[in-house]
Amino acid sequence: MHYANKVYDQVVAANPGEPEFHQAVREVFDSIAPVLDAHPEYADQAILERLVEPERIIAFRVPWVDDAGKIRVNKGYRVQFNSALGPYKGGLRFHPTVYLGMLKFLGFEQIFKNALTRQHIGGAKGGANFDPKGKSDNEVMRFCQSFMTELQRHIGPDVDVPAGDIGVGGREIGYLFGQYRRIRDSFDAGVLTGKGLGFGGSLARTEATGYGAVYFADAMLAARGESLDGRTAVVSGSGNVALYAIAKAQQLGARVVTASDSSGMVYDDAGIDVELLRHIKEDLRGRVSDYAAQRPGARYQAGAKVWNLAELGIHADIAFPCATQNELNEVDARQLLNGGVRAVVEGANMPTTLEATHLLQENGVLFAPGKAANAGGVATSALEMQQNSARQSWGFEKVDAKLHDIMRDIHDTALDAAARYGHEGDYVVGANAAGFEMVAEAMIAQGVI
Total residues interacting with ligand GLU, rule: CB under 6 A: 10
Q: How far is the CB of 271 from ligand GLU (least distance, A)?
A: 27
Smallest distance, ligand GLU to C-beta of residue 119, A: 10
State the minimum distance, in angstroms, from the CB of residue 308 to ligand GLU: 27
In the window 366-425, what residues touch ligand GLU (CB under 6 A)? 377-378, 381
The verdict on 90 binding ligand GLU (CB under 6 A) reads yes
For 417, residues 6+ apart whose C-beta sits below 8 A from its C-beta are: 429, 430, 431, 433, 434, 437
Question: Residue 342: CB partners within 8 Å, gap ≥ 6?
Answer: 317, 318, 364, 365, 366
Q: Find the helix or strand (DSSP H, E) in which 150 lies.
A: helix 137-151
Binding mask 182-201 for ligand GLU (x = CB under 6 A): -----------x--------
Give the 3-state secondary structure of residue 396. helix
Strands 88-94 and 71-82: unpaired
Q: Tell whether the torsion through CA atoms of 409, 411, 414 and 418 is positive or negative.
A: negative
Q: Is 125 a catalytic residue?
A: yes
Q: What is d(CA 220, CA 218) in angstroms, rounded to the nearest whole number?
A: 5
Residue 74 is a binding residue for ligand GLU (CB under 6 A): no
Could you say whether residue 235 binds ligand GLU (CB under 6 A)? no
Total Cβ atoms within 10 A of residue 73: 11
Decide whether 381 or 413 has the Cβ nearer to ligand GLU: 381
Nearer to ligand GLU, 86 or 91 (CB): 91
Burial of 34 (0-12, 13-18, 19+ CB in 10 A): middle
For ligand GLU, give the closer residue by CB, 39 or 78: 78
**Considering only 50-58, 83-91, 247-255, 413-421, which stretch makes contact with ligand GLU by CB under 6 A?**
83-91
Nearer of residues 125 and 342 to ligand GLU, judged by Cβ: 125
Minimum CB separation of residue 45 from ligand GLU in Å reads 27
Contact 236, 256 (CB under 8 A): no
- Looking at the Cβ atoms of 237 and 377, the one nearer to ligand GLU is 377
Binding mask 138-177 for ligand GLU (x = CB under 6 A): -------------------------x-x------------
The secondary structure of 330-379, three-state, reads HHHHHHHHHCCCCEEECCCCCCECHHHHHHHHHCCCEEECHHHHCCHHHH
Of 238, 325, 349, 352, the residue at the interface with ligand GLU (CB under 6 A) is: 349
CB 86, min distance to ligand GLU, A: 12
User: What is the rounded (10 degree) CA torsion for 328, 334, 338, 344?
Assistant: 40
86 scored as a contact of ligand GLU (CB under 6 A)? no
Residue 54 lies near ligand GLU (rule: CB under 6 A): no
Q: Which stretch binds ligand GLU (CB under 6 A): 69-77, 88-96, 132-140, 441-449?
A: 88-96
Q: Minimum distance between the CB of residue 90 and ligand GLU, rounded to whole angstroms?
A: 5
What are the residues facing 94 on neighbouring strands? Answer: 128
Show the CA angle centred on residue 412, arms to residues 232 and 425, nearest 5°.
65
Closer to ligand GLU at the Cβ: 200 or 377? Answer: 377
Contact pattern for ligand GLU over residues 9 through 38, marking x by CB under 6 A: ------------------------------
What CA–CA distance (Å, rounded) separates 309 from 323? 18
78 forms part of the interface with ligand GLU (CB under 6 A): no
Contact 422, 35 (CB under 8 A): no
> Residue 169 Cβ, how far from ligand GLU at the closest point, in Å?
11
**Strand ranges across the sheet with 258-261:** 258-261, 264-268, 298-302
User: Using the rule CB under 6 A, which residue among 89, 231, 255, 295 binds ligand GLU?
Assistant: 89
Catalytic residue among 89, 125, 281, 371: 125
Compute the least distance from the CB of residue 89 to ligand GLU, in Å.
5
Q: CA angle at residue 209 from 153 to 166, to 5 degrees?
A: 55
Q: Binding residues for ligand GLU, per CB under 6 A? A: 89-91, 163, 165, 193, 349, 377-378, 381
Catalytic residues, by residue number, are 125
